[in-house]
Chain A
């Protein structure tokens, strides 16, 4: 009788082990296949016209960002100019009011970077609007729920080639960028890392639609894009209709 039970137990235990092994092996195989086809760590910008722009920044310091990098990071199709509210107050002098502003021409190409290290931003300081806040890695699914600035995952590292994207809340308990609209071309702000204090100069401000993800596009030079909400609050969508975009370039000779 004892042997019979022992035999049954072994049979059940063996079967369970085989089932567990098969499930685990199957899961790993599926993930290996999935990662080879479409890696989980990669991101892609999908524009309104369906254009897909890989969200990959140049992996070289700005001082090395030349024509090669520019061609490497150029989108496969021309970027759409962002739809704007045509707010003359937020448009840089010299911009054609009839033409939607874009990042074109603000790539910061050729600017010398003071830092070649890939260190994350720790703090954002915009003295003119009393912003001095911590910066943390973030994305649309995981936003700061405290008085902090989000650093978009996949965007550039401070002081390096590419588009450094920082965003903050316009209103609510975690409002950080409520006065962002007060910035003007020529204003400066600094992004602090563990080893450097990097200064950026604002080149333009504009409003764009909330789905205009082209503003996140990688750039060949060292640029920064600050984002907060603007426009009208849509209670149905639970979101603002527009975003205020502030484009800046890394200052040379730091």
Chain B
């Protein structure tokens, strides 16, 4: 179970780190900052659904290393979750980045809190990146820190375009209108009554037997 949680938290932080991954451009920027926002909606191999927003405050520099403060706000399996961490990213060549998680400053996620983390992120094709070998879909291409692109969306890869045909279901209805509840309401008392009737019959028989014995 711990292993499963560790994998899930690893993937969570992997998603966090996506906002840091650069491509192409070697670090040429002067020291400046930017805010990157990433919408994340992923389901891990162990079935954990993670949906939320990562806000990354990047501080770019000429040294080639970008310092980043990360925060995540969202849900894990429908329950509220939040976390914040700091990390650095370095890259070499095109479409490849290495992310190192320095410290986790807050962790309100029902998954194992990681202490250190190292991720290798590579753009493998249009709309597709690899995080430590795991393919992940991204809208368009990654961009180097402080090169202009500040909005990303990340989802599971290979699931195709999402189709919205219904508005969100925002009601549970009255319990009295639930067929399952009505069936339960009829069947459970009915079963209890049948069992009770057997007990009553047996009790009656015992009484008759006792009465007969007394008569004799």
- Residues A229 and B164 in contact in the complex (CB < 8 Å), given A30-B158, A35-B125: no
Partner of B168, one of A43, A59, A227: A227
Residue A75 is within 8 A (CB to CB) of chain B in the complex: no
- Residues A36 and B135 in contact in the complex (CB < 8 Å), given A41-B155, A136-B73, A136-B74: no
Q: Judging by beta carbons under 8 Å apart, are B75 and A194 in contact?
A: no
Residue A122 is within 8 A (CB to CB) of chain B in the complex: yes
Residue A66 is within 8 A (CB to CB) of chain B in the complex: no
* Bound CA span A119–B151, Å: 10
Q: Judging by beta carbons under 8 Å apart, are B73 and A122 in contact?
A: yes
Main SS at interface, chain B = strand
Residue A100 is within 8 A (CB to CB) of chain B in the complex: no
Q: Which A residues lie within 8 Å of B130 (CB)?
A: 28
Summed over the interface, the residue pairs from A and B with CB atoms below 8 Å come to a total of 201
**Tier of interface size on chain B:** 35 or more
**Cβ contacts A28-70/B at 8 Å (1 or 0 each):** 1011101110111111111000000001000100000000000
Q: Which B residues lie within 8 Å of A211 (CB)?
A: 165-167
Chain B binder among A4-12, A88-96, A106-114, A146-154: A146-154
Q: Which residues of B28-72 are within 8 A (CB) of A?
A: 35, 37, 39-41, 49, 51-53, 55
- Residues A38 and B124 in contact in the complex (CB < 8 Å), given A46-B165, A229-B171: no
Residue B215 is within 8 A (CB to CB) of chain A in the complex: no
- Residues A210 and B167 in contact in the complex (CB < 8 Å), given A118-B151, A145-B79: yes
Residue A172 is within 8 A (CB to CB) of chain B in the complex: yes
Total interface residues on A, CB under 8 Å, equals 69
Residue B86 is within 8 A (CB to CB) of chain A in the complex: no
Q: Which A residues lie within 8 Å of B74 (CB)?
A: 136-137
Q: Which 3 A-B pairs have the closest CB atoms?
A: A145-B78, A229-B171, A172-B172
* 13 more CB-based (< 8 A) A-B contacts, given A167-B168, A170-B171: A46-B163, A46-B164, A119-B37, A122-B73, A137-B73, A142-B75, A144-B80, A153-B41, A170-B170, A211-B165, A227-B170, A239-B173, A240-B171
A residues with a Cβ closer than 8 A to B are 24, 27-28, 30-32, 34-36, 38-46, 55, 59, 117-120, 122, 134, 136-146, 148, 150, 152-154, 157, 167-173, 177, 194, 208, 210-213, 215-216, 227-229, 233, 235-236, 238-240, 243
